[in-house]
Chains A and B, each alone.
Chain A
Amino acid sequence: DTAVSQTPKYLVTQMGNDKSIKCEQNLGHDTMYWYKQDSKKFLKIMFSYNNKELIINETVPNRFSPKSPDKAHLNLHINSLELGDSAVYFCASSQMGQGSFSYGYTFGSGTRLTVV
């Protein structure tokens, strides 16, 4: 019944490894997002996909690559992990409403990534 689900919830890995985080939403929304929350709790958008098309791509290292196989799924793959990538990554979804995609976001519970 979870509206936006992310896996895994926790991820501990060594520097240099490649890892993926998966996100799925069952709300029928057409837009999905990845946000990064740093150690100071600051939330910053990374990517957004609308109907599998990339629409927002903030200044994020090329090591981060989102993939959206369909509009219910948005995965985040990270290559060559660095210590500074340690953070909580949140997936979110929304549906165009009243002419805007910021009409209302539903967030997943987050993936805590720790790079050692």
Chain B
Amino acid sequence: AQSVTQPDIHITVSEGASLELRCNYSYGATPYLFWYVQSPGQGLQLLLKYFSGDTLVQGIKGFEAEFKRSQSSFNLRKPSVHWSDAAEYFCAVGGSTGFQKLVFGTGTRLLVSP
């Protein structure tokens, strides 16, 4: 069964600084990988996803993530953080065949300081 680890519970970044959120996954075959963002009181919005091909994927709101199979990682990055990026970020892994569920990490709360 697949699993996801997000080692950072909270991260504080100054506005304008760069951001990297860590995600490590466990899955026996080729994974499908996702990053979702949840603003307070809101649902989950898809930022980006990786299925195959180029290991650097671009998403919405200026986010990108890089799939590194050797490290079982799918870290999320943004070169310059805006105050509106403050939210909860979830990494998720799904199986690439059949009736596979999406399994989420425990989330990382991003705080943006002025």
Contacts and interface: CB of A to CB of B under 8 A. Distances in A.
A25 to B, nearest CB: 13
B32 interface: yes
Interface residues of A, number: 26
Contacts of A42: 104, 106-107
B96 to A, nearest CB: 5
Interface string B76-103: 0000000000001010001111111111
B96 A100 contact: yes
Interface stretch (B14-22, B41-49, B56-64, B66-74): B41-49
A9 to B, nearest CB: 9
Given A41-B107, A42-B106, A101 B43 contact: no
Nearest to B101: A45
B46 A100 contact: no
Nearest to B107: A41
B96 A104 contact: no
Interface of A: 33, 40-45, 48, 50, 55-56, 90, 92, 98-110
6 contacts: A41-B38, A42-B107, A104-B49, A106-B46, A107-B36, A110-B43
